[in-house]
Structures are given as structure tokens and as C-alpha cells.
Amino acid sequence: MLEQYLENIRALSKKNEPFATVVVVRREAPSSGKTGDKAVVNQFGEIMGWVGGGCVDAIVKKEAEAAMKTGKARLVRIGYAPSTTKEEGVMEYKMTCQSDGAVEVFIDPVLPPPHVVVMGQTAIAKAVVKMSKAAGYRVTAVAPDADLGTFEKVDELITQMNLAQVKTTPATCIVIATQGNQDEAALEQALRKPHAYIGFVASRKKKASVSDFLQQQGLDTEAIAAVKSPAGIDIHAKTPDEVAVSILAEMILMRRTSLGMAFAGFENSGHEAAKPRIYINPVCGVAVDMNNPRHVVEYKGEKVYFCCDGCKVKFELEPGRYVKVGG
């Protein structure tokens, strides 16, 4: 079990996908999850391992997603008497299953390193690569005719001014430091990819000229206007390294002040079928994956989804208390 748990962590880390580790840290019988049980929850809500069934399973999926989106770990108490004072980082749920068990699980998000795409092989481009690696970013360098000696320690090297094979997400930063060598092509490529930030190393006059060209190519005017140019925070930078520091600071500021940016956009269309379709259980308020509910009851022409036996039983005793059809 431990070997498989570690293998799941290695596999998801290798793919640069977010996930959360889940460990049962306390348990009161007859809960099915036992102290020391471990699982990994991926970005699509799939639980790999075992920490409990019924209510526990549904709550863990919900809290693991929240942990990944916020980047904050949490202790989740299920079935214990609620504390009189709210504790930071502690989430509490009633145990609505028919058993009287209780568990505490610790959920810790593991997020991939931030991703930056650097286009061009100018002195500033090389400095941005160097500074970004030092700050812990995963770096893709894009430069025609570049080789492994062009940049320091890039994770991915593309030797054409083409981003077709580069996987980006709405959390990716793109820095264009072409400085006169295929500026229009680089910016057009960047604007057509998912991104959180585009920084264009150019004067305002140059940005205006390139923007006019891109608008004529049919690109979105608002997206073009959102491009940061001159790129970077104004620190009166002069040298390539100083310019790189100003750009890195701007990327960090965007990342740290945008809620959920660390997690944004890692879902891809190839897994849409696996992504949970969320329904809020009307009895306990726990999110239920409609693709994999424990029970489904039809009430006055509408389907009601449940995470456990206990919620289903309570609902069937007083359905009108929990669901207002048509309202």
C-alpha cells in the first residue's frame, strides 16, 4: 500500500499535475478508515488509495479540491463533537452515515511549480530564464535555432517560433524578449495560448505598432491591451539582469495576488468525463459526484443524490424538509 501511494505521488509529480495527499491521523470505531490509511486525490477528484467510504469519501474529495485551489493544507474532522471555537485550518463535518464512527484526516496540497515560457534568445531572454529557474519556475525557452548551450538549465527547449507543442494553462506566464526578431509572430503565438500573464519587452511605441498589426489579424482587442509592455515593474532597470528581476517581480505579484492561480487550468479536455459533476447533498450539505453517487432517489420528477446510507434514510423519512421542487 505504501509503495503504491508513493508511486502515485511520483507519477503525478512527473506530469506536473496538482494533487493532494490524504492521511487518516485519528479514528474512532466503527469508521472504516483506520489511523495511518493514506490516499492521493488528483485534480479530477479521483481518490487513489483508501481513507474511508460514504460521507468520508465525498468530504475528502470536496476538501482536497479546496486545498488545491487555495494551496492551503487542512485538518478535516468528520463525526466528532464540534468545537466551541473555530480553529484556523480545521474543517468540521457531522457524520451522517448510519454508523457512529469518526475520523480526522490531514489533507496537504502538492502543486506543480509555476510555469514560464520565454520567447527569444536576447540577453534579456537569457537573464529571465536564469532568474526564473532560481525562483523555482519550470521554464520553457522558445528560440529559433537555439541549442542546449543557449540557455541555462531550461526544462523544455523549442527551436522554432511556434508554441503549438507547448502545453500552457491559464496560470502560465509568457515573456516575449525577441526585441525585433519576429516580435509580431511571437506575440500572436502567445495570445492564442492559455495564459495568466504576457510581458512584452518593448517600448510603448513598439507595442502600439505591433498591437495595430495584431488587431488587423483579428486578435481580441482586450487581450492585446492586457499585454504588459514595457514588461516588468518599473525599478529603473538598466542591465539585462535588472530587467529580468523586474519581470520576475511582476509575475510573482500576479501569482500571489490572484486567488486560485496556482491551480488554475490544469484540467484538460481529455479527462472531462472523469471530472466530478457536483451536486450538493440536501441532507448534510456535502458535495456529491453525480457520476458516482452512493444513492440516487427520484422525488417529484427530480433526481436527488446522496453520499451515504444515512442521508438517504433521513431524506426518505421527510423529503419535503430537504427539497423544494420548482422553487
Strand order in the sheet with 156-158: 156-158, 138-142, 115-119, 173-176, 197-200
Residue whose grid cell is 490531514: 106
Length of the chain measured in residues: 327
Q: What percent of the chain clears pLDDT 90, i.e. is strictly above it?
A: 52
d(Cα 297, Cα 231) in Å, to the nearest integer? 56
Q: What is the pLDDT of residue 270?
A: 41
d(Cα 166, Cα 154) in Å, to the nearest integer? 14
Q: What is the pLDDT of residue 291?
A: 75
CA distances from 33 to 24, 146, 220 (A): 7, 53, 52
Q: Which tens digits make up the pLDDT trace of 278-327?
A: 778 888 777 777 777 778 888 888 888 887 777 888 888 888 888 765 54
Q: Which tens digits make up the pLDDT trace of 178-236?
A: 998 999 999 999 999 999 999 999 998 999 999 998 998 888 899 999 999 999 999 99
What does the DSSP assignment read for 112-150? Answer: PPPEEEEE--SHHHHHHHHHHHHTT-EEEEE-TT--TTT
Strand order in the sheet with 90-93: 47-49, 38-42, 19-28, 102-110, 74-78, 90-93
Query: Of 31 and 128, which is predicted with more confidence?
Result: 128
What confidence category does residue 272 fall into, taking pLDDT thresholds of 50, 70 and 90? Answer: very low
C-alpha cell of residue 50: 483508501
Residue 17 has pLDDT above 60, yes or no: yes
Q: Helical H runs in the chain?
A: 2-14, 55-70, 123-134, 183-191, 204-216, 221-225, 240-257, 309-317, 319-322
Residue 88 has pLDDT above 80, yes or no: yes
Nearest to 176 by CA among 248, 117, 242: 117
Q: What is the pLDDT of residue 99?
A: 58
d(Cα 88, Cα 105) in Å, to the nearest integer? 15
Q: What is the pLDDT of residue 174?
A: 97
Contact (CB, 8 A) for 73 and 106? yes
**Averaged pLDDT, 256-277:** 58
3-state secondary structure of 201: coil
Q: Which tens digits make up the pLDDT trace of 18-70?
A: 999 999 999 887 777 889 999 999 988 899 999 887 778 888 988 998 899 88
On whether the pTM is more than 0.85, the answer is: no
d(Cα 289, Cα 277) in Å, to the nearest integer? 5
d(Cα 39, Cα 125) in Å, to the nearest integer? 41
d(Cα 193, Cα 214) in Å, to the nearest integer? 15
Q: Catalogue all structural domains in the chain, each as residue range(s) with its CATH number.
A: 2-110 (no CATH), 115-257 (3.40.50.720), 269-322 (no CATH)
d(Cα 178, Cα 199) in Å, to the nearest integer? 11
